[in-house]
Amino acid sequence: MLHFDRWKIVLIYILCVAGLVYTAPNFVPKSKLQDVPAWLPHQQINLGLDLRGGSYMLLGLETDALVRERLQGLVNEVRGALRDVSVPYTGLGIKDGSVVVRITAPADAEKARDAIDGLSSIVAGNQFSTLPERDLLITADGPQISIVLSDAAKRARVQSAVQQSIEIVRRRIDELGTTEPVIQQQGIDRILVQVPGLDDPSQLKALLGKTAKMNFRLVSNAMSGQQALASRTVPAGTELLYTSDQLKTPVLVERRIMVGGDRLVDAQPGFDQRNGLPVVNFRFDATGARQFGEVTRDSVGRPFAIVLDNEVISAPVIREPIMGGQGQISGNFTVQEANNLAILLRSGALPVAITVLEERTVGPGLGADSIRAGEIAAIIGSVAVVAFMIASYGFFGILANIALILNIAMVFAVLSVLQATLTLPGIAGIVLTIGMAVDANVLIYERIREEVAAGKGPIPAIESGYNRALSSILDANITTLISAAILFQMGSGPVRGFAVTLGIGIVTSVFTAFTVNRYMVSVWLRRRRPKALVL
């Protein structure tokens, strides 16, 4: 136990030096970090949002709407398919999450089924099988045909909506000019957003709260919005929308879309040259410009509606054909609203609505206080433990303390290298590790005391002290490691930070408190060759 192979000694030195070297950047102020030579490590510990301040949000996608939308689309496709093969039918619609249709003549059933089969396409399978699956499951019961979306199809739709949403959320957040935002998928239909340094996320939430589906449509000239509201019916091909301002004026607009929002290539906030009010200037791509030009040419004198998320932002009258593909939206905006709208239009529409399921925002003041409190607690805790160990074990206590300090350095080094996140509970984890790390040394030393009391000489006593304590040390640490692993699995944010530091601390403490400490004791034994142990 006290003999070390040369390669082991070298390894111990390498690990200890590496621990110190990789910890060092954390003690260099950020501003001085570029002066550190390039061959030395530069990575500092990544502070969690609870320490550096910032905003954490868990966004939920309203995926039910995706399936509903798809079924709605499917109804139209079925209608088209049956028309193409001239099969008469009744009762086409959505019932309990499936599209149902009844074929009038039983003889047509086969033909209808084939036509509907043709609508089906192939989607990728789930993560457990690479086999492609069909997106529609079609069952026929006599003249009754029902179509449901396969699970693979639902999954694929949700997954693509999540991917698309992440991209759009990222664009919207980037517009806020924040640094290093983290935007990632969480679970099946959620997005995790972490924006360091953002202490007031209300603008961000205002941006994320809009799907920003925008389009340009003509205002119907069949009747006015008020008339439509009074008559409680709307003419075919139109729908009744309301303005987005306080007045909520009804506007009857055509269902047909002149130009879709996806044709926008740019949108910038600006000011109206005539009255100085905030507006949004936009530009269409070539196709959009042509479509817009054609409609405005044919409808001079009529008002058109700019519709955002089914609300009419404004409904200006077309005075002349707009051919250049450029325009201006005015709608009694504040400067902030115009700015937000421009961001929304530039970043594109979300495929589904998003809700903030969970939000945790920490201001810079609390973060700084927490760091300071954590530092003080860690220093005082360490000093107390160090003093206690020296009082209890004297010289051996000092050796244990050297191991303890190396352990703390290694925890910081591992955190820096892995770029794991240090949170306030994480600091608590480190402090707890400080208390528990010396446990291995306590076990060993107590054991050595016992062996000495049983009449053994220094070297055999130390030998068997390390030997016999090892099994207890491993058992004790593995059980704690199990708790840490489970915490890491289930925890989120700060709590996960606790699991990280606790877990790292356990692993490094076995190395420092057992191996490094044993090496130091063996060196001491060889130099001093003590006749009796004072422990």
Partner 1 sequence: MRHLKLIPDDTKIPFSRWRYVAVGLSLVVMVAAVVLLVTRGLNFGIDFKGGILVEIATDGPADIGRIRSDLGGLGLGEVQIQEFGQADDVLIRVASPQGDDAEKASQAVVEKIKGALGDGVEYRRVEVVGPQVSGELVEDGVLAVLVSVALMLLYIWFRFEWQFSLGAVVALVHDVLATIALFCLLQIEFNLQSIAALLTIVGYSMNDTVIVFDRVRENLRKYKKMDLAELIDLSVNQTLSRTVMTSGTTLLALLALFVFGGEVIRGFVFAMIFGIFIGTYSSIFIAGPVLLAVGVSRDATNGGLGGVSKEKAPGKA
Residues 401 to 430 in contact with partner 1, rule: CB under 8 A: 424-425, 427-428
| Nearest distance from C-beta of residue 481 to partner 1, angstroms | 8
Closer to partner 1 by Cβ: residue 9 or 486: 486
Q: Is 473 helix (H, G, I), strand (E, B) or coil?
A: helix
| Nearest distance from C-beta of residue 525 to partner 1, angstroms | 19
Residues 478 to 497 in contact with partner 1, rule: CB under 8 A: 478-484, 486-487, 489-492, 494-495
Site mask for partner 1 (CB under 8 A), range 257-296, x = bound: ----------------------------------------
Residues 298 to 337 in contact with partner 1, rule: CB under 8 A: none
| Nearest distance from C-beta of residue 467 to partner 1, angstroms | 6
> Residue 313: which H helix or E strand, with range?
strand 311-314
Residues 194 to 213 in contact with partner 1, rule: CB under 8 A: 199-200, 202, 205, 209
Among all chains, which residue has been given the structure tokens 């479509």?
291
- Rounded to the nearest angstrom, the gap between the alpha carbon of residue 49 and the centroid of all alpha carbons in its chain is 13
Q: What is the token pair recorded at 469?
A: 């304590």
Which of 412, 404, 480 has the alpha carbon at shortest distance from 442?
404
Closer to partner 1 by Cβ: residue 239 or 446: 446
Residues 161 to 200 in contact with partner 1, rule: CB under 8 A: 199-200
Give CA–CA dist 412/47, Å, rounded.
Answer: 12
Interface with partner 1 (CB under 8 A), residue total 84
Give me the residues paired with residue 94 across strands: 99
Site mask for partner 1 (CB under 8 A), range 430-469, x = bound: -xx-xxx-xx--xx--x--xx--x----------x--xx-
15 makes contact with partner 1 (CB under 8 A): no
| Nearest distance from C-beta of residue 397 to partner 1, angstroms | 8
* DSSP E strand boundaries for 161-249: 182-186, 190-196, 214-218, 238-243
Residues 344 to 383 in contact with partner 1, rule: CB under 8 A: 355-363, 365-366, 369-370, 373-374, 376-378, 380-382
Closer to partner 1 by Cβ: residue 370 or 515: 370
Contact 76, 62 (CB under 8 A): no
Closer to partner 1 by Cβ: residue 251 or 443: 443
CA distances from 384 to 43, 158, 440 (A): 30, 54, 17
Q: What is the token pair recorded at 75?
A: 């109804």
Among all chains, which residue has been given the structure tokens 């003549």?
105
Task: Encode 252-268: b = buried (16+ Cβ within 10 Å), e = exposed.
Answer: bbbeeebbbbebbeebe
Give CA–CA dist 451/533, Å, rounded.
Answer: 11
Task: Encode 42-54: b = buried (16+ Cβ within 10 Å), e = exposed.
Answer: eebbbbbbbbbbb
| Nearest distance from C-beta of residue 60 to partner 1, angstroms | 7
CA distances from 210 to 165, 194, 203 (A): 12, 19, 11
Give me the residues paired with residue 326 across strands: 283
388 makes contact with partner 1 (CB under 8 A): yes
Among all chains, which residue has been given the structure tokens 């003080």?
376
Closer to partner 1 by Cβ: residue 265 or 356: 356
Which of 212, 236, 242, 206 has the alpha carbon at shortest distance from 222?
236
| Nearest distance from C-beta of residue 77 to partner 1, angstroms | 31
| Nearest distance from C-beta of residue 169 to partner 1, angstroms | 16
| Nearest distance from C-beta of residue 1 to partner 1, angstroms | 10
Site mask for partner 1 (CB under 8 A), range 54-83, x = bound: ----x-x-----------------------
